[in-house]
Structures are given as C-alpha cells and as structure tokens.
Amino acid sequence: MSGLESYINHTVSIITADGRNFIGTLKGFDQTINIIIDECHERVFSTTSGIEQIVLGLHIIRGDNIAVIGLIDETVDSRLDLANIRGEPLGPVVH
Amino acid sequence: MLPLSLLKTAQSHPMLVELKNGETYNGHLVSCDSWMNINLRDVICTSKDGDRFWRMPECYIRGSTIKYLRIPDEVIDMVKEDAQAKSRNRTEMNKNRGGNSSQNQRGGRPGGNRNNVGNRPGQGYGGPGNNAMRLGGTAGQGNRLPHAAKNRK
C-alpha cells in the first residue's frame, strides 16, 4: 500500500517543483500522485518580512509538479509564529 | 477520493488552471478525461507575469501541461454525495440478489468480481475500461461492509 494512504485527512505540506509550499488537508491521491488538497494555503517565505499565508481553497495538484509531501504535526505547527519567521524562498527544481 | 473523480464532479463549475509555464486559465470546465486533458468554456488566459490577458470562447488543455487546478470548495462535498448515492444503489441491488439466491450475499458478489478479473486479458483496452472496473470494485467493497454488519445483527 502506498505510504500516502496514512496521510489521508491529515494536514500535509507539499513542496512543488517550482519551489512553492502548500499546506492543507490531503483528501485523496492516485497512482501518478495527483493529489486533492482541501483548505489549501500557500506559505510565501521572504528574508525581509514574516511568512505570508495565502488562502487558496480546494486544489488538485498534478503529480508531475510535486517534489515532497510531508505530514504536519498540527500542535507544533499551530505554535509557530509565522509573522516572525524569515527564510529564503526555495528555487525551482533544476533538471 | 481520486483527484480525477473530483475533477469530473467539477464539470460545469468555474475553475482556475495553472500550467507548468505559469500561464493561468480561468473558465468553466466542460469536460475532462482520464489523462486530465480538459475543455474550458468562456476562458480568460493570464500571462505568467499577470500583465497580459486574453479572452477566448473555449480552449482545450493537454493534461500533462497542467501544474494545478483550483476548484470551488463545495465541489468536494458533491463527490461524496455521488459516491454515497452509488453505494446506496448497490446495497439495494445486493439485497435483491441475496433474496433470489440461496447462497449468502457475501459469496454472491465477490464471485462476480472474480469472473471479471478472470476475463481481464480479453479486455485489454486500457484506460476507460480499467477505470470502470476499479470504480466498480471499490464501490463493491465499500458497501459489503455495512451489509455484513447488518447480517450480524
């Protein structure tokens, strides 16, 4: 069984091939790792200001474009002070 | 839930499609297939930088060029309704079959599935056929459980 099965209905963080970071609830996936993310928001990192969260809603992300899917510990995540975290944004995957 | 089932449910709804090249297409979904190729209607295309716009009555997008699709929130609940309705129908069908046969119901259904699997080599048509079978399979599993529970009572 795919390891993603156990992530269903949990909060996950997706890093895409273009270097973006999406957070949301994994609702489904298929054999090519196309995924359904509900209540999706994007976290935009910057070195000059805190993390900006952009609410996006329901998304289907195509598997081609997915680099990493990670399980988020919601208790740890909710303690983060996003407004005071700075970081270099990721670059795109280089082929 | 499969992403492509959700996409199919989103037919006739508005959506935003971002392509791998950064262009976005806003329009209403007309149709889609198992490769995620899609037809949109009343489309506004936005360039990668968001500074240029094109309007077109319809367009066709090859699935492999898509990065992601943004879909109205309520569509995910409609998929559930579809699946539940299907599973209710199946349960009714199973009840009828169970009543006509002296076999128990658990034996009846899986036997039918086994036959399908046995015929598989003869059906080697690829995509749509396989999909239909997979859907049938999961629906079957989904409602065999409540059924068994009922029998135990």
| Whole-complex ipTM | 0.90
> Searching chain A, which residue's CA lies closest to the CA of residue B68?
A61
Query: What is the rounded CA–CA span in Å between residue B68 and residue A77?
Result: 25
Residue-level pLDDT at A95: 84
CATH 2.30.30.100 fits B3-70, yes or no: yes
- What sign for the dihedral angle of Cα B112, B116, B117, B118? positive
- How distant, in Å, are the alpha carbons of A7, A51, A76, A83, B96 from that of A86? 28, 6, 18, 8, 63
**Is B82 part of the contact surface with chain A (CB cutoff 8 Å)?**
no
Residue-level pLDDT at B119: 46
With an 8 Å Cβ cutoff, are A58 and B63 in contact?
no
Residue-level pLDDT at A3: 86
Q: Under an 8 Å CB criterion, which residues of A touch B?
A: 16, 18, 27-30, 34-36, 38, 56-62, 64-65
CATH 1.25.10.10 fits A3-80, yes or no: no
Stated pTM of the model: 0.69
Q: Which portions of chain B are predicted below pLDDT 50? A: 101-153
Query: What is the rounded CA–CA span in Å between residue B88 and residue A72?
Result: 35
**Terminal Cα distance for chain A, rounded:** 29
> Searching chain A, which residue's CA lies closest to the CA of residue B7?
A60
> Searching chain B, which residue's CA lies closest to the CA of residue A39?
B73
3-class DSSP state for residue B39? strand
